[in-house]
């Protein structure tokens, strides 16, 4: 690993378009400012790791655990017919509004080491649909 010493307000360049600056140093906490093209994802590593771990664990759910969730989740209970269905696919309308147009923010997203990831500039909000895909596709509403 390359180790560099930097003082406050000094910057490191990674490649041509990624800059990391030391914004503040207080005790054992260092605040970093990161400027990178939006195609580069910037995350706190522990968050990334936590999601990875959670995925791995969720993938282990099986047997009795799954039965506990919903008896009818057991595909076998549907007979031989495999439960298969398309997703989301679902391309049926049912938009939730919020068609907020692309705010078209700049090319870089300065991600400072804020503790509370405030919404970055130029983000959209994907509304999650209010009904399950099955209902969307079938249009049969079971209350």
Interactions with other proteins, residue window 78-117 (CB under 8 A): 78, 80, 82-91, 93-96, 98-100, 102-105, 109, 115-117
Residue count, binding to other proteins (CB under 8 A): 74
- The Cα 115–Cα 31 span in angstroms is 9
Q: Tell me how far, at minimum, the Cβ of 60 lies from other proteins, in Å.
A: 9
Residues 37/7/114/12 CA torsion (nearest 10 deg): 10
Choose which of 8, 9, 66, 139 interacts with other proteins (CB under 8 A).
66
- At residue 45's C-alpha, the angle toward residues 102 and 121, to 5°, is 20
**Closer to other proteins at the Cβ: 3 or 93?**
93
- The Cα 23–Cα 142 span in angstroms is 55
Q: Is 56 in the site for other proteins (CB under 8 A)?
A: yes
Q: Are 42 and 29 in contact (CB under 8 A)?
A: no
Q: Tell me how far, at minimum, the Cβ of 6 lies from other proteins, in Å.
A: 24
Q: Across the chain, which distance is largest between two alpha carbons, in Å?
A: 67
Residue 140 phi, psi (nearest 5):
-95, 115
* Stretch touching other proteins by CB under 8 A, among 1-9, 16-24, 25-33, 39-47: 39-47
Q: Is 41 in the site for other proteins (CB under 8 A)?
A: yes
Q: Is 122 in the site for other proteins (CB under 8 A)?
A: yes
Q: Is 43 in the site for other proteins (CB under 8 A)?
A: yes
């Amino acid at each position: 690993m390359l180790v560099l010493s930097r003082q406050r307000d000094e910057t490191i360049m990674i490649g041509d378009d990624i800059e990391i600056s030391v914004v503040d140093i207080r005790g054992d906490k260092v605040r970093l400012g990161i400027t990178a093209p939006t195609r580069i994802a910037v995350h706190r590593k522990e968050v990334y790791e936590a999601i990875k771990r959670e995925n791995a664990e969720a993938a282990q759910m099986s047997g009795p655990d799954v039965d506990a969730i919903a008896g009818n989740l057991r595909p076998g209970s549907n007979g031989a017919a495999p439960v298969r269905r398309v997703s989301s696919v679902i391309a049926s309308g049912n938009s939730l509004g919020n068609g907020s147009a692309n705010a078209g923010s700049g090319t870089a997203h300065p991600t400072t080491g804020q503790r509370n990831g405030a919404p970055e500039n130029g983000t959209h909000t994907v509304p999650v649909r209010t009904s399950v895909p099955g209902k969307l596709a079938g249009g049969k509403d079971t209350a």
